[in-house]
Structure 1
Amino acid sequence: MGRVNGRLNGRRAEVEANGEKVNVAILGAGSIANTMATTLVKMAADERYAGWIHPYAVAARDYERAEEFRGRYGFDRAYGSYEELAADPMVDLVYIATPHVFHAEQAILCLKAGRNVLVEKSFTANAAQARELLKVADETGLLATEAIWTRYQPSRAIINELVASGELGDIRMVRADLSYENHGRDRITNPALAGGALLDVGVYALNFIDMAVGADHGRTIASLNTVMVPYESGVDQSNVTTIVYDDGMMAVATSSRAVASDRAGVIEGDKGYAIVDNINNPTGIDVYGLDHEAKRHIDVPAQLTGYEYEVAAAANAILDGLDECAEMPHADTMRIMELMDRIRGAWGLAYPFERR
């Protein structure tokens, strides 16, 4: 079904009633693209999504790779170039699944061709690229939203409700860590690909803090201190950032691509504390009292993969004619991008393409 400027008209119920669907395409065929493809296939078989979400196409830098990907997941179309995918008028939403450094260029390509975009984190390599991308989104009137899945998942509301409930008392400290071993992928250590732990995994720690006690609760950053240990290539291997908010709330974000960690988020108050088991994809929250005895466990709803929420939010936004998702509005994306620029600036870390 063709679209005008890649945009669907009418709301979800009307689309389902007409037998129409939001055609989702994936730009890129790497590991995260496979996770999204698995998600889309599961959504297409799930009664909550089957009536309005359709796995449609994939594009890679060569056709054979794209065709193998298409066949594996049963998509309709495969393209051997990103330009061909962007030119397909049947595409309603493109998921950008490539390294950070390419996001701005590829999202802009899609937007200018009339395609809405869901851009994998980090949204871009720096704030300047993010502004350029969002400027094109504004000019085209199309959706551009960041695919940082924790912003869309039910765990976000659960954590915010716990914080607001008073059960933990006066919360004054939050800690968040996300670290993984180095899998040997070039994108992790290559400065030309905007490598390093911060943009790859540290972005989750910063978003967790922002949601748990930061901007979601009306706070602004008063000061920060940060330090990192580099790889031989110069990008950050491990890092620690301490944030102090305008009301004295303190937060510590740590991340690494050299070690494994518990991936925990800890919210600390004067009546107790809560441990979120994995800030990258929370599945449960344990609440403790002052005696350090567990008071209760909060389950997070079962998921298909966890990616389905960002896809559904983006599709709904398209159907409603919006250019951003309420779960991750452009202001939130820009705040985190500017914060990561500020952190890298304190380290003296600039990528090669930023120095040119």
Structure 2
Amino acid sequence: MTGLRWGILATGHIAHTFATDLRDAGIELVAVGSRTQESADAFAAEFAIPRAHGSYEDLAADPDVDIVYVATPHPQHVEAATLLLEHGRHVLIEKPLTLNEGEAAQIRDLAAREGLLAMEAMWTRYLPHMIRIREILAEGTLGEIRLVTADHTQKITDDPAHRLNALELGGGALLDLGIYPVSFTWDVLGAPATIQAAARLQSTQTDADVATIFTYASGALATTFSSSRAVGPNTASIVGTEARLDVDRVWYTPTSFRVIAPDGTVLEEYRSDITGRGMQYQAFAAERLVAEGNFAGDILPIEESVAILGTLDEIRRQIGVVYPGER
């Protein structure tokens, strides 16, 4: 580890989860910033963080902070990340990196100019079971990949004021939930050659259910489904000509998987055994990248995060979801 000194920008639910995992992993949390001093003070007291800032600007200017986790709603990511990068701080930005591809490219370019790390906090990519899955794919155990399928489905409130249902807050199932299976297909197969999408929109004009079909130059197919109104299996599968890999629920959290031959023989079984939710692994990766001076990234390069947002933009174009200010 590099011994980087971490700050957290915003104090909502995901910030609490991240701080819990970092504290339990022994990573140094030195500062938190919120829009109010009261919120910052409460968060700092809960996690024994020495400095609490009542504005994002004060956190960005804190000379004892090396890297900051951005935990705001995604429409605010580009402004927060820009502020931090301009103050010389590395950033780990909660997924999705930004609201759209154009904003993501702005962050990529600014980080490159400043010589800093800007990394998307797609924490699933860094979990031990996902590391092993990539090893199995590289070993060729599954043969030629023919199909990838995954869903991320939850039953969440239908309150139109809730963040997930509010268009002005970047609401909808796709950017909060669908990004997981879409990123998974990118991880396995890379960029799709074609994209087809269908959705059901709510009265707020946010997407509640989204289904996609991707095709690839290799002839492989991928399907994803995301929903904020119903709970599905929350599993994932990679089907190859020599074997398939089935990831148990909840596939995007620490879980188990099996590699199964065409005759049903289990070739490998993996079970996760980690502490906490697993958000510390992305922090470990960020510290490693900074130590190496590899600001382009590797497990999830910043270029890939930008391109994935391009895929999400195309899905939104097809289903008719436009956020305020994008027209």
What TM-score, normalized by structure 2, do the two folds share? 0.93
Structure 2 residue aligned with 1:259: 230
Cα deviation for residue 301 of structure 1 reads: 4.5
Alpha-carbon separation, structure 2, partners of 1:237 and 1:295: 38
The answer to whether residue 144 in structure 2 is matched with residue 170 in structure 1 is yes
Aligned-partner Cα distance in 2 for 1:169–1:315 = 34
* 2:19 counterpart of 1:37: yes
Task: Report deviation, 1:82.
Answer: 0.6
Q: Is residue 205 of structure 1 aligned with residue 170 of structure 2? A: no
Partners of 2:48 and 2:267 in 1: how far apart?
Answer: 46
Give the 5 Å matches for 1:338-349: 338-349=310-321
Letter in 2 for 1:33: A
2:67 counterpart of 1:88: no
Q: Paired residue for 2:292?
A: 320
Shift of 1:64: 0.9
In 2, the alpha carbon distance for the partners of 1:258 and 1:247 equals 34
How many angstroms does 1:293 deviate by? 6.4
1:27 and 2:9 are equivalent in the alignment? yes
**Are positions 1:285 and 2:267 aligned together?**
no
Q: How do residues 17-166 of structure 1 correspond to structure 2 at under 5 angstroms?
A: 21-44=3-26, 53-166=27-140
| Aligned partners of 1:58 and 1:70 also within 8 Å | yes
Shift of 1:319: 2.8
Alignment-mate amino acid for residue 175 of structure 2: L
Q: Distance in 2 between matches of 1:37 and 1:175?
A: 32
Q: In the aligned structure 2, how far is the partner of 1:279 from the partner of 1:353?
A: 34
Inter-partner Cα distance in structure 2 for 1:150 and 1:37 = 17
Give 3-state SS (helix, strand or coil) of 2:177's partner: helix
Aligned residues: 324
Contact 1:192 1:353 survives alignment (8 Å): no
How far residue 274 of structure 1 moved from its aligned partner, in angstroms, is 2.1
How far the C-alpha of 1:57 sits from its partner, in A, is: 1.1
In the TM superposition, what is the alpha-carbon distance from 1:270 to its structure 2 partner?
3.5
Q: How much has 1:291 moved relative to structure 2?
A: 4.8
The aligned counterpart of 1:47 is none
- Counterpart CA distance in 1 for 2:134 and 2:286 is 22
| Aligned match of 1:190 | 166
Relative distance call for 1:170 and 1:131 in structure 2 (3 A) is: closer
Partner of 2:283: 311
Task: Please report the RMSD computed on the Cα atoms of aligned residues, expressed in angstroms.
Answer: 1.8
Amino acid at match of 2:170: A
Q: Secondary structure at the match of 1:353?
A: coil
Find the aligned partners of 1:166 and 1:23 in 2 and give their Cα distance.
Answer: 40
Distance 2:143 2:299 in 1: 27
**1:73–1:224 CA distance, 2 compared to 1 (3 A):** same
Partners of 1:151 and 1:256 lie apart in 2 by 21
User: Could you give the per-residue CA deviations for residues 21-54 of structure 1, whole angstroms, max 9, x where no partner exists?
Assistant: 311011010000000110121122xxxxxxxx31
Other structure's SS at 1:22 match:
coil
Q: CA deviation at 1:124?
A: 0.2
Return the match for 2:210 from 231, 236, 239. Answer: 239
Question: Take 2:245 and 2:115, find their aligned partners in 1: how far apart are those partners?
Answer: 41
Distance 1:130 1:191 in 2: 19
Task: For residue 294 of structure 1, report the CA deviation from its aligned partner.
Answer: 5.0
- The runs of 5 or more residues in structure 1 that have no matched partner are 1-11, 16-20, 45-52
Q: Structure 1 residues 103, 288: CA separation in 2 closer, same or farther (over 3 Å shift)?
A: same
**CA separation of 1:228/1:318 partners in 2, compared to 1, >3 Å: closer, same or farther?**
same
In 1, the alpha carbon distance for the partners of 2:84 and 2:140 equals: 45
Q: Check 1:247–1:60 CA distance in 2 against 1; reply closer, same or farther (3 A cut).
A: same
Unaligned runs of 5+ in 2: none
Matching of residue 226 in structure 1 with residue 197 in structure 2: yes
For residue 304 of structure 1, report the CA deviation from its aligned partner: 3.8
Partners of 1:204 and 1:279 within 8 A in 2: no
Q: Are 1:208 and 1:279, in contact at CA under 8 Å, matched by a contact in 2?
A: no
Instruction: Kindly provide the CA deviation profile for residues 316-341 of structure 1, in whole angstroms up to 9, marking residues without a partner as x.
Output: 22233332322221111111011111
